[in-house]
Chain A
Amino acid sequence: MSEHARPRIAIVVFPGSNDDRDAALAFESLGAEPVLVWHAEPELPDVGAVVLPGGFSYGDYLRCGAIARFAPVMGAVRRFADEGGLVLGICNGFQVLCEAGLLPGALRPNKSLSFICRDVSLRVERADTPFTTRTEAGQSLTIPIKHGEGCYFADDELLAELESDGRIVLRYEDNPNGSIADIAGVANRDGNVFGLMPHPEHAVDPLLGSSDGVLVLGSLVDAARERLLTTA
């Protein structure tokens, strides 16, 4: 197997997901082989990483992500994560991971109560995660957000833990939604699960206004490929 090996990346499709195909196209253009996995599947195929895409799973009923976390596939996602597998949650996928307890914290309605859809600037806090190796610490990324409930919340104790453990991976340079400590993306304790509200899959081509999303998704492709090569 060569360094050009195409790692397989599962993209979970919930009823109401709407960025699954954008994510698939983005990963395909980055040299990965996306595999769409329906939420009712009890098992994951053999993949190097799992992505929970953006959208409005189950209509965002009750709380965003609250119902999706009980989808049959989530048991398999949890086992995959527990074994050290790489899991990325984008927007609604981030909300699902928080509700599932795979990531800390919760996402609340934006401070402005408005749905916000625009490019934002992000500062890379950690460039040493499997999701950010193509970036540099302190680098500014331009990636769009599009959400109504992206206000990240952690209580004092959790926030102190996130800060001291260095688990805040991305911060907003100009906080658009009221997120505590300007948090745009956080990782779990082991660093193999990461969620962010911005949409890197919508910023993979200069035609889209920015290709900084490649730095995030490409890092994950690199990490998934590396795992493929080490286990081959």
Chain B
Amino acid sequence: MKATVLVRPKPGILDPQGQAVQRSLQQLGFPVQEARIGRVVDLELDLGDAQRTRAELERMCEQLLANPLIESYEISVTSE
């Protein structure tokens, strides 16, 4: 089974990387008001059913993949 975890800085958290990218995009002529930079974690795992996979991914996010104080996360189980 494959899964993807998206980790984002929470709203209100200073994201200097995103700010630098937003400014660069503006300099290139793209009218971008805001850019926020997060992280993608692609995983391959074998936990049987999708429900259990999702529950385990939640635990992975809480324990390691995201820092809940500053980051939010989104889980998608992409293929069987």
Residue of B nearest to A104 (CB): B69
A207 at the interface (CB under 8 A from B): no
A63 to B9, CA, bound (A): 12
A75 at the interface (CB under 8 A from B): no
Q: Is the CB of B16 within 8 A of A110?
A: yes
Specify which chain B residues have a CB less than 8 angstroms from the CB of A63 in the assembled complex: 67
Decide if the interface of chain B is mainly helix, strand, loop or mixed: mixed
B63 to chain A, nearest CB (A): 9
Contact of B67 among A106, A109, A110, A178 (CB under 8 A): A106
Specify which chain A residues have a CB less than 8 angstroms from the CB of B14 in the assembled complex: 108, 111, 151, 153, 178
Specify which chain B residues have a CB less than 8 angstroms from the CB of A109 in the assembled complex: 16-17
Specify which chain B residues have a CB less than 8 angstroms from the CB of A139 in the assembled complex: none
Q: Is the CB of B16 within 8 A of A111?
A: yes
B70 at the interface (CB under 8 A from A): yes
Given the known interface contacts A111-B14, A112-B16, A113-B20, the answer about A105 and B64 at a Cβ–Cβ threshold of 8 Å is no
B5 to chain A, nearest CB (A): 12
A228 at the interface (CB under 8 A from B): no
Count chain A residues whose beta carbon lies closer than 8 angstroms to a beta carbon of B.
Answer: 18
A193 to B1, CA, bound (A): 42
A70 to B9, CA, bound (A): 23
Count chain B residues whose beta carbon lies closer than 8 angstroms to a beta carbon of A.
Answer: 11
B3 at the interface (CB under 8 A from A): no
Enumerate B22-69 residues with CB–CB distance to A below 8 Å: 64-65, 67, 69
Q: Is the CB of A62 within 8 A of B64?
A: yes
B23 to chain A, nearest CB (A): 11
A61 to chain B, nearest CB (A): 11
A99 at the interface (CB under 8 A from B): yes
Specify which chain B residues have a CB less than 8 angstroms from the CB of A178 in the assembled complex: 14, 16
A66 at the interface (CB under 8 A from B): yes
A83 at the interface (CB under 8 A from B): no
A147 to chain B, nearest CB (A): 14
A113 to B20, CA, bound (A): 9
Enumerate B6-20 residues with CB–CB distance to A below 8 Å: 9, 13-14, 16-17, 20
A155 at the interface (CB under 8 A from B): yes
B32 to chain A, nearest CB (A): 18
Given the known interface contacts A62-B64, A108-B14, A178-B14, the answer about A153 and B20 at a Cβ–Cβ threshold of 8 Å is no
Q: Is the CB of B64 within 8 A of A153?
A: no
Q: Is the CB of A113 within 8 A of B17?
A: yes
Specify which chain A residues have a CB less than 8 angstroms from the CB of B20 in the assembled complex: 113
Specify which chain B residues have a CB less than 8 angstroms from the CB of A110 in the assembled complex: 16
Interface set of B (CB-CB < 8 Å, partner A): 9, 13-14, 16-17, 20, 64-65, 67, 69-70
- 3 closest A-B pairs (Cβ-Cβ)? A106-B70, A113-B16, A106-B69
